[in-house]
Chains A and B, each alone.
Chain A
Amino acid sequence: LAKTTQPISMDSYEGQEVNITCSHNNIATNDYITWYQQFPSQGPRFIIQGYKTKVTNEVASLFIPADRKSSTLSLPRVSLSDTAVYYCLVGRDSGGYQKVTFGTGTKLQVIP
């Protein structure tokens, strides 16, 4: 499984755009990049997934450069409720399923 590296923590003011970058230098050809959000004492929640270029949904955007060795999660206009830990995962199929293994994550603190 590809190893990921993220900043341990980030602070942002309410209303600002937040970009969290993840490095995954040994990503494999068939790997997808997935981001999850976790609040304290809750299970992780899927945010977005992508393979290359840019993916956007109603909560975030994911930017992936051509070499796919990194990815950036972009959260537009964050609010206090976005304070959480954000995990970047890169997975590989094995026997028809993908084990989801978490790295250290980035703790985002949104400040009023």
Chain B
Amino acid sequence: GAVVSQHPSWVICKSGTSVKIECRSLDFQATTMFWYRQFPKQSLMLMATSNEGSKATYEQGVEKDKFLINHASLTLSTLTVTSAHPEDSSFYICSARVGQLNTEAFFGQGTRLTVV
């Protein structure tokens, strides 16, 4: 299947700093990528939909100024957590779809963010 790679796999940062997470589709072009957040023992929560060349669409309750998403190419989307705080500590996962209609989504391996 198609491969989606996230980097880094884990990161620890100090409170108040910003962290960038990359999501790459390695063997296909992804016009749309999705960003999720998952707290321990909870389900994945969709944060935003990232479209190549345009502004991301954020889900209700997700602060767009705090979670900056850039989808500059068909193979790369980035999520920047700005001014991170301990409550932002979570597992962040991206996914991308091949094609458009009702096809499976491929997920990255996730990024564990710990803010201290």
Contact = CB atoms under 8 A, between A and B. Distances in A.
A85 to B, nearest CB: 8
Interface residues of A, number: 24
A13 interface: no
A100 interface: yes
Interface stretch (B13-21, B61-69, B77-85, B95-103): B95-103
Interface of B: 1, 4, 6, 31-32, 34, 36, 43-46, 49, 91, 93, 95, 97, 100-110, 112
B59 to A, nearest CB: 9
B43 A100 contact: no
Contacts of B100: 93, 96-98
Contacts of B105: 46, 98, 100
A91 B102 contact: yes
